[in-house]
Amino acid sequence: MKKQRILALMHGDLVPPENPDPAELETAEWKTEYHVVTTLRALGHSVHPLGVKSDLSVIREAIEAVRPHIAFNLLEAFDEVGVFDQNVVSYLELKRMPYTGCNPRGLLLARDKAISKKLLHFHRIPVPDFAVFHIGRSIRRPKRLEFPLIVKSLTQEASIGISQASVVEDEEKLRERVAFIHRSVGTDAIVERYIEGRELYVGVLGNLRLQVLPIWELLFTKMPEEAHRIATERVKWNPKYQEKRGIKTDEAKDLPEGMPARIRHLAKRVYRILELSGYARIDLRLDESGKVYVLEANPNPQLAYGEDLADSAERAKIPYQALLQRIIHLGLRWQPDRPG
């Protein structure tokens, strides 16, 4: 394996310390960055972490100083705007700098949940019926959109703005929740039919040739009966809440006959329709009747050791070190004018 000079791009507040307290690491916001940097160094690569906030010149200067073979992209925003991460990747392409993860076209298509759903629906991929409510416009539910509904940010990831109150069953609650997204998250809102059922995640690796990882499931083992089984902010990011409610993820069991093959086929189709590259996670819901719906695609998902993507890769006999090396290899092979 050739040793590489790697420029690791991350948010300026998430550059990990060299020798963190092990107890602190479990809940640290920079856990992913630490795992990636230390693992790549353990593989023998020369890794240069670079904090990026709102200035592209730091990337240009680092490229000139380090002369990296590749940029390992861990950015989820630029200038605190989530959808601006695609612009950073475009800048790397203009600099002819290879990078890991998704290309800017795929980021653009997948980040906007309405655009992605329209594309998927056009290709006959089952998605929940939906409507977009823009900031500053009246909140009027289309008659075709029947309750219960779930209200989300149109562009924000990581379950930002999602709670149990996101599932609404009448007009008043709908208006309240859409206004909450507009006010608190600061984005347009997407409202879609709430699908009661199992929450499934499918990791995909590749550019043209794709590998689908084992189907993963979000499990709620101690949730009250009346609670909705959805990935809220607390479900994703609050360890105490996860322990209290018995929330964990594992390989999906007891799927209907033929369903695993269908889900893997769906995941590949979604990945290709949205022009994704590198690696991604496809989120789905399986209802009680056995119908599966694609909720969204997440390019460049959480990459920390012990999280869903790494665990499902491990189940596919791809250890964490090999997973990161595979992601680097895919980044080195990708070329905007002729992807490999």
Mean pLDDT of 1-20: 93
Please check whether residues 202 and 295 belong to one and the same domain: yes
Please check whether residues 228 and 189 belong to one and the same domain: no
Please check whether residues 277 and 328 belong to one and the same domain: yes
Residue tagged 């809102």 (tokens)? 189
**Last residue of some domain: 52, 77, 99?**
99
Lowest mean pLDDT among 59-73, 224-238, 263-277, 325-339: 224-238
- E strand spans, the chain: 5-11, 46-52, 70-73, 130-133, 149-153, 167-168, 189-193, 197-206, 210-212, 216-220, 247-251, 279-287, 292-299
Mean pLDDT of 41-64: 97
Q: What is the pLDDT of residue 339?
A: 61
**How far is C-alpha 90 from the geometric centre of its chain's CA atoms?**
19
* Residue 243 covered by a domain: yes
Distance CA 286, CA 259 (A): 10
What band does 75 get if pLDDT is binned at 50, 70 and 90? very high
Distance CA 167, CA 228 (A): 8
Q: What is the pLDDT of residue 132?
A: 96
Expressed as residue numbers, the domain containing 175 is 129-193
| C-beta neighbour count of 159 within 10 angstroms | 18
The tens digit of pLDDT for each residue in 185-196 reads 999 999 999 999
Please check whether residues 311 and 207 belong to one and the same domain: yes
HSE of 217 in the Cβ direction (CA atoms, 13 Å)?
Answer: 15
Q: What is the pLDDT of residue 22?
A: 82
Distance CA 149, CA 153 (A): 13
Q: What is the pLDDT of residue 245?
A: 84
Q: What is the pLDDT of residue 207?
A: 96
DSSP codes, 256-314: PTTHHHHHHHHHHHHHHHTT--SEEEEEEEEETTS-EEEEEEEES----TTSHHHHHHH
Please check whether residues 220 and 280 belong to one and the same domain: yes
Average pLDDT, the chain: 93
**Which residue would you say has higher pLDDT here, 243 or 294?**
294
* Residue 166 covered by a domain: yes
- Give the single-character DSSP code of 322: H
* Residue 279 covered by a domain: yes
The tens digit of pLDDT for each residue in 216-250 reads 999 988 888 888 888 888 887 788 888 888 889 99
Distance CA 319, CA 111 (A): 28
* Residue 59 covered by a domain: yes
**Last residue of some domain: 99, 119, 141?**
99
Please give the tally of structural domains in the chain: 3
Residues 308, 309, 311: CA angle, nearest 5 degrees: 65
Q: Return the CATH number at 156.
A: 3.30.1490
Lowest mean pLDDT among 26-30, 112-116, 185-189: 26-30
Q: What is the pLDDT of residue 272?
A: 98
pLDDT reading at 70 higher than 70 = yes
Q: What is the pLDDT of residue 230?
A: 86
Q: What is the pLDDT of residue 158?
A: 65
Q: What is the pLDDT of residue 55?
A: 94
Mean pLDDT of 48-73: 97
What band does 89 get if pLDDT is binned at 50, 70 and 90? very high
Percentage of residues of the chain with pLDDT beyond 70: 99
Q: What is the pLDDT of residue 124?
A: 97
* Residue 249 covered by a domain: yes
What band does 113 get if pLDDT is binned at 50, 70 and 90? very high
Q: What is the pLDDT of residue 340?
A: 58
Distance CA 108, CA 99 (A): 17
Distance CA 252, CA 211 (A): 18
Mean pLDDT of 160-188: 93
Please check whether residues 186 and 270 belong to one and the same domain: no
pLDDT reading at 31 higher than 90 = yes
* Residue 116 covered by a domain: no
